[in-house]
Structure 1
Amino acid sequence: MTTERERIADFDEEKLAGIIDLYLRTGIAVHSPGAMGRQFSGVVPLAGVIDFVTSMVNQPSSFYEAAQLPNVAEQIMAEELNAFIGWPAGGFGMVTTSGGSLANLTALLAARNRAFPDFWEGGGPGPVGSGRPAIAVGEDVHYSVSRAAGVLGIGEAQIVRLPLNARRQVCPDRAEAVLAAAERRGLQVFCVVASAGTTSVGAFDPLDELADLAHRRGAWLHVDGAHGASLLVSDRLRPKLRGIEKADSLAWDAHKMMFVPAPCTLLFYRDREQGLGAFRQQASYVFDEEPDLYTALDSGGETFECTKRPMIMALWALWAVHGRALFAEKIEQLCRTTGQAHQVLLEQPDFEALHEPEANILCFRYRPAGLTGTGPADRRELHRLQVAIRNRVKRDGTFFISKVDIDGTAALRVVLMNHETSTEHFRMLLREIRSAGQDIQLNGKGNR
């Protein structure tokens, strides 16, 4: 930090170099093949260049008059990507939001306002006899949905948890009975939230069946596809989202599997008019009294954000220059490598694979001989060992992995986001985990 307090300090090239070096050294090395811990990746270089231009141009993109090209680019990308969703042209809508959590909140607002049209103005649960507003979710739903329930005034007590099958997908057959029981308790489930790529294990809920179930009960189906919606651009992987065209809304994070700078989330609505119901304000300083051809491109009335980065530009530039294949081939490679990593894991007698990966997320445990995890004390020891291993691997810095609790016991979790990560890198990771685990057990060093 400069010690100058009375005048603007002179530019110090060495100081700037130190700041940049510190920034690079202390962050997650997302371009390293050893970075397997989170659902963000290194960006395609062209996207970084466009993001730099975006920062310098500094156009807030909620209104066409301030950011003309970004608002047009949103419409172009909406049409390009809807070709893989499958909604009729002309009726659907898309708006960008700063992250999947905000997209989920916005979609739930639209769903709530459709089911309870007086809630926005008057608050409360609605007319007598209408039931308390409730949301139905899978057990592994992203935590942002629970947060949204609190923000919306619905409350976590009104979240209906739908049972999962052995693959950690929502089970539609068992969900029917749970929804019926919720109705008997005086709850009106206005929205069912399905996941296309859960954060924990990357599971894809059966969208086709859940859409039918939701619509039979008069509920909105929102799909949290923050991670997995990008598989739609791959002909080989698109069937994992079978039934997506029946959904009412879809959250899609381009900053995850489309390899652009964060945040860049696309919120799609099957019926654009329903999406317009999320917010209901007027403000003379931004909303025009006489809409025209250009204000029709504004998104300020559809999002919580007034000042919003033109985040679409990096995605549109990549798509415009390279086309779909850039994304499809990279996504397919990541999923293929994750499947190969799963096979490597099955060959290791002291490791336990917890699921067969559906995309590029793989969870497992280091389970040395003698540690069965069957009794309460053994399970606690197994849990502590996974946490200690993860902390040791993170501290040593060659690899970066994450952890997740599955059925109450910690598991190690990798997310392959870098196309340069190979099965040999994964074997190297397993050797480091094994070494760390043996040392922790032998010396009892734990997290030290």
Structure 2
Amino acid sequence: MTRPSPEVQNLAIFPPDSGGRPSTGSDMASVFDPERFRENISNIAPRLERYLADRSTRGLDLVDPAVLTKAARGLMTTERDRIADFDADRLNQIVDLYTGTGIHVYSPGYMGRQFSGVVPLAGLVDLVSSVVNQPSTFYEAGQLPNVAERLMAEELGRLIGWDPGRLAMVTTSGGSLANLTALLAARNRAFPGMLAGGAAGVRDGIPAVAVSEEVHYSVTRAAGVLGVGERQIVRLPVDRSGRVRADRVAPALDAAHRRGLRVFCLVASAGTTSMGAFDPLAELAAVTRPRGIWLHVDGAHGASLLVSRRHRDRLRGIEHADSLAWDAHKMLFVPAPCTLLFYRDGAAARGAFGRPPGGRGASYVFDEEPDVYSALDSGDQNFECTKRPMIMPLWTLWAVYGPALFERKIDRLCATTRHAFRMLRAEPDFDVLHEPEANILCFRYRPADLEPSALHRLQLAVRHRLRGDGRFFVSKVDVGGVAALRVVLMNHRIGTAHLAQLITEIRTTGQRVLREEAAAPGPRAERSPR
């Protein structure tokens, strides 16, 4: 064999620097140096420790995007022709900017969204996953993550009530993708010809999906991706608490059938995004099963109540569903994304994307001769090829602490939300819109002399002012076409004193908005509180 010349060897190993001369490679080595990594961890860890220890009540300091962009650009090296020398101060400033401009999810003032502060140990495991970088779609690339998925499928599947020898679970990057995947599996079971022939493969009715009026927008988006247009979406009426009215489902399905629609899937919610409502799953299953309709449950938020012996009855009837989407990055308190998609029948999991292509186009990942290793692959069951080992933080917490950690925090959050309901109901100038079923509560600030036409605008103004003041972060949602304030209690540090402070701040803010509006020139009806 002819060996390349020393010059070629040097060029192949050490690319030229800006002057056309081979570099030594020492700058590259320093980037990957384990000791440098340890130093970086030593610098960042105290900053994160202070972040976790901060118990101040604060919401969100919303920075002007132009200001933040300028600050971020100022932290970028101007070096372009060589690897810049490491600057520890620059890294520290980046970390401080990152932690300082986000929502402080560990603060008692954070009550606005459905993602939570993670159990700190889960963050450490997520760091391990990032460093070792083992994509988990195929066993040979991520051995322990694939085993961990099987173990968590056993643990959580037992809570669902499905046959452990028959069910299947795959992890996906978020509830939206889980809902899409489940709808694919349902469609392909009902219309198997569509896998090969697309819309031309439909022979028996127009594909349609039935959804709650309160369904998450990802479901209707997913239907659109599948070619199910708006006219093919059957919307099911809900009661005042946001639950599907089971008595109205059969008539709606019959009406759809008369229109030539074939509903292949009904999507129920276990914890709607707006009000945290749980649809009557047992009643819905009694309607769908005789008709051969797939029942998918979007439990992205509320499925975690299955871990609680006190609250799991909210999902009564889940054992009759065909599939379930469950976000662990919500009420199981792990880093996002970590979504678990369960199928009651494991064979249905392989129906979402059809048979694996094998040597016909993806021979680099799919084996023609399955073995004990490839049996744990999930590449034929999920859309992602490269997928983070998102199960590892959840499995590690379960392995180290057991399910009681999750149960106690869930019970605490639900109890605190119930207490907030009682406190608000006792205030004469507040309207509480529903009894909370989990940890989401919607209400309005409504002083006695408020004109009905101003109710919507006042809620929006109060929410924006609260966010701007930076002590509390709550969200808003339209209920019955009128804006409402919405709290999602994800932090076990929230107590009665914080809830009382929030009520006082909402009232003070609302009165200030109304005074400013009354003092402003012009017709009152044309003014909008801001």
SS in 2 for 1:387: helix
Q: Distance in 2 between matches of 1:116 and 1:186?
A: 15
Give the aligned partner of residue 238 of structure 2: 164
Contact 2:208 2:232 in 1 (8 A): yes
State whether structure 2 residue 492 is matched by structure 1 residue 413: no
Q: Could you report, residue by residue, the CA deviation over 1:157-194 in whole angstroms, capped at 9, with x for unpaired residues?
A: 21100011232110111111111001100100000000
CA distance in 1, matches of 2:502, 2:132: 42
Asked if the contact 1:223/1:247 (under 8 Å) is kept, the reply is: yes
1:191 and 2:270 correspond? no
Q: Normalising to structure 2: TM-score of the pair?
A: 0.82
Does 2:380 correspond to 1:301? yes
CA contact (8 A) 1:365 1:412 kept: yes
Identity within the alignment, % = 68
User: Are 2:328 and 2:334, in contact at CA under 8 Å, matched by a contact in 1?
Assistant: yes
Of 89, 92, 100, which aligns to 1:25? 100
2: CA distance between counterparts of 1:18 and 1:385? Answer: 39
1:231-258 alpha-carbon deviations (Å, 9 max, x no partner):
0011111111001000000000000000
Looking at structure 1, the residues matched to 265 and 201 of structure 2 have their Cα atoms a distance apart, in angstroms, of 16
Aligned match for 2:393, one of 299, 311, 314: 314
1:392 Cα deviation (Å)? 0.8
Tell me the amino acid that sits aligned with residue 170 of structure 1.
V
Matched, 1:290 2:369: yes
Report how far residue 285 of structure 1 moved. Answer: 1.1
Aligned to 1:145: 219
Q: CA deviation at 1:81?
A: 0.5
Counterpart Cα distance in 1 of 2:390 and 2:405: 19
Q: 1:372: Cα distance to partner? A: 5.2
Partner of 2:504: 431
Where does residue 83 of structure 1 map in the other structure? Answer: 158
Q: Distance in 1 between matches of 2:249 and 2:353?
A: 30
TM superposition score normalised by structure 1: 0.97
Shift of 1:351: 0.7
Report the counterpart of residue 62 of structure 1 in structure 2.
Answer: 137
Residue 440 of structure 1 aligns to which amino acid in structure 2? V
Change in Cα spacing, 1:372 to 1:169, as seen in structure 2 (3 Å) is: farther
Retained in 2: the 8 A contact 1:248–1:269?
A: yes
CA offset digits 1:203-243 (Å, max 9, x no partner):
00000010111112110000000000000011111111001
Greater relative contact order (Cα 8 A, min sep 6): structure 1 or 2?
1
Asked if residue 272 in structure 1 is aligned to residue 373 in structure 2, the reply is no
How many residues align? The count is 441
**After the TM superposition, which of the residue ranges 427-436 and 183-192 deviates more from structure 2?**
427-436
The runs of at least 4 consecutive aligned structure 1 residues that moved more than 2 Å come to: 125-128, 444-448
The 5 Å alignment of 1:77-226 reads 77-124=152-199, 126-128=201-203, 130-226=204-300
SS at match of 2:350: helix
| SS of residue matched to 2:271 | coil
1:48 is matched with: 123
Residue 324 of structure 1: how far off its partner (Å) = 0.6
Equivalents in 1 of 2:423, 2:200: separation in Å? 52
Deviation at 1:447, TM superposition (A): 6.9
Distance 1:355 1:164 in 2: 13
Asked if 1:404 corresponds to 2:477, the answer is yes
For structure 1, the residue ranges without an aligned partner over 5 or more in a row are none
Aligned residues: CA RMSD: 1.1
Equivalents in 2 of 1:288, 1:295: separation in Å?
A: 7
Contact 1:350 1:366 in 2 (8 A): yes
| Contact 1:40–1:255 (CA under 8 A) maintained in structure 2 | yes
Please list the CA deviations of residues 70-123 of structure 1 after superposition, one character each: whole Å capped at 9, or x if unmatched.
000000000001111011121110000000000000000000000000112111
Structure 2: how far apart are the matches of 1:80 and 1:212? Answer: 27
Q: Counterpart in 1 of 2:432?
A: 353
What's the CA shift for 1:5? 2.1
Report the CA distance shift for 1:318/1:435 in structure 2 as closer, same or farther (over 3 A): same
| 1:400/1:125 CA distance change after superposition, 3 Å | farther
Task: Report the AA paired with residue 232 of structure 1.
Answer: L
For residue 125 of structure 1, report the CA deviation from its aligned partner.
Answer: 6.2
Q: Is the 8 A contact 2:514 2:529 kept in 1?
A: no
Q: Measured at CA, do residues 223 and 245 of structure 1 come closer, stay the same or move farther in structure 2, by a change above 3 Å? A: same
1:256 matched residue in structure 2: 330
